[in-house]
Amino acid sequence: MRIRIGAFALVAPMLIGLALSATAFAQPLDAAEMAAVGQYGQRAAPLTVFERAGVLRIDGQGRKDAKLTPLGRNRYRIEGGGELVLEPVAVRLDGARLPRHDFGAEVEAGVRAAVRADPDALRARALAARPPVETDPHRPADLVDLSTLDPTLRLDIRYAGSDNFMGLPLYERPAAYLQRPAALALARAAQALKAKGYGLLVHDAYRPWFVTWMFWEATPPEDHMFVADPAQGSRHNRGCAVDLTLYDLKTGKPVEMPSRYDEMSGRSYADFIGGTTRQRAMRSLLREAMVAQGFEIYPEEWWHFDYKDWRHYGIGTKTFSELAAAR
């Protein structure tokens, strides 16, 4: 796991304190400019085009949060020197063409192609594997069904269907559980957000250990920072991690964030500079509500939060069928 706590700590106070005013969301850009928001070039060192307060800016390729000033005909002067030209599926940075990429989608396509080779064999190997032996004492598991806590807590359990980075169902039923202290903290966060017009949409919570094993096996080694090492067990396995986003209580629609859920790219990082002003503000609102209730930020994934007491619980292996049968 690659943790960049130091880098994140420098920007977190500014992000969490971001005001959610109407002016903060202003985007007086035309359609072509808004469509240009994204990443270009090489995944290892991309150029990020983003919007802040109605102005296009770039970051990367030797530029740091540089403002773009329109020159006409899709040409822009770069703050600090140089020129950027917008094209339909690329940009030209000082004459060099950088193609647009959705790096997360490209990684996902590779993972799904590998899994499709023999998903049944992968699952069988995972179910036959054994979790690490833990010798430290732990609190007894007390998993709470999140659907029983608050009517504004909605579930969209991606691993119970095929709309996930693996491309196949991993849970037998759509459900979400957390250890009782974490579940009650989540309910308090939901109540705080309700007053601001938003609800919590949960994508994942407790995760059986065998699924963590499958994630690790299916994910390319260079992207292992996005999945937990089964040799250590994950906070999801302990029932103290939750993946979630916001939705608008009036419309019922999920808000836009700087990346998709479970996207394996730099856009998923909690301190990613890109996207739009509104997307970053929504990310900040979610983070502020969760941190206030004792959840910790995971630097590589804006949607992932760990409850502070996760170390006190052991690795869980019960499947969703077993949890349902026990109730």
3-state secondary structure of 23: helix
E strand or H helix at 246, and its extent?
A: strand 241-248
Per-residue tokens: 205: 């919570």
Percent of the chain with pLDDT over 70: 92
Q: What is the pLDDT of residue 326?
A: 82
Q: What is the pLDDT of residue 25?
A: 58
pTM of the model as a whole: 0.90
The pLDDT tens digits for 125-184 are 999 999 999 999 999 999 999 999 999 999 999 999 999 999 999 999 999 999 999 999
d(CA 154, CA 247): 9
**Would you say how long the chain is, in residues?**
327
Mean pLDDT, the chain, integer:
92
Average pLDDT over residues 17-28: 52
Q: What is the pLDDT of residue 166?
A: 95
User: Is-contact 247 198, C-beta < 8 A?
Assistant: yes
CB atoms within 10 A of CB 14: 10
3-state secondary structure of 327: coil
Strands (E), 38-79: 38-42, 45-52, 55-60, 63-72, 75-78
More confident residue, 3 or 236: 236
Q: What is the pLDDT of residue 3?
A: 35
Q: What is the pLDDT of residue 20?
A: 55
d(CA 274, CA 256): 13
